[in-house]
Structure 1
Amino acid sequence: MNLEVVETPAGELYVDRADGERGAEAPFYHVYADPDGETRWGYFCGNCETVNNAMDAMGRIECNECGNIRKPEEWDAAHE
């Protein structure tokens, strides 16, 4: 695993640009808290390059900076 170091308000984190989730504007890459990629931390928005995003219970990821979004993996009309 080749991880890229990024400086964030949360400190130094490690982004795996080879592994991510498709977003509407750009991918959301997996972020790790350690350089070995053993502790998942969250997601990195490939559109605006921030870790300031949120995931809901349905698996939807939305960037709080640019609005890039990944739709939920499973959708149920009862959740609307």
Structure 2
Amino acid sequence: MQPWSTDGGDTVYISETDGDRGSKGPFLVAYESRDTERRYGWFCANCESLDNAMDSMGRIKCNECGNFRKPTEWDAAHE
């Protein structure tokens, strides 16, 4: 686990093994503490940012570099 400081001055812990593939680089899981009980959010390894958004279908998009993860759930009604 790698410690990382947020813009607000808090420390979160980035997992180097738990994450998902993105279009430009992996999204790694960020936790509130080393014990990994509570997730903080996603860390974009491409631009080293915690500024990411996830929608209800599991898509993740980095607001800094545009790194993108495809949805984990799919609903054919959206075609």
Is the shorter-chain TM-score for this pair beyond 0.5, marking a shared fold? yes
State the SS of the aligned residue for 1:37.
coil
One-letter amino acid of the counterpart of residue 4, structure 1: Q
1:6 paired with 2:1, answer: no
Distance (whole Å) between structure 2 residues aligned to residue 13 and residue 72 of structure 1: 25
Distance (whole Å) between structure 1 residues aligned to residue 78 and residue 48 of structure 2: 30
Consecutive unaligned residues in structure 1, runs of 5 or more: none
1:1-80 aligned within 5 A: 3-10=1-8, 11-79=10-78
State the SS of the aligned residue for 2:4.
strand
Report the more deviating stretch, 20-29 or 6-15.
6-15
Runs of 4+ in 1 over 4 A off after TM superposition: none
Deviation at 1:76, TM superposition (A): 2.1
Distance (whole Å) between structure 1 residues aligned to residue 66 and residue 76 of structure 2: 22
Deviation at 1:61, TM superposition (A): 0.3
One-letter amino acid of the counterpart of residue 67, structure 2: N
Q: Percent identity among equivalent residues?
A: 54
Deviation at 1:35, TM superposition (A): 1.9
- TM-score w.r.t. length of structure 2: 0.91
Distance (whole Å) between structure 1 residues aligned to residue 16 and residue 78 of structure 2: 31
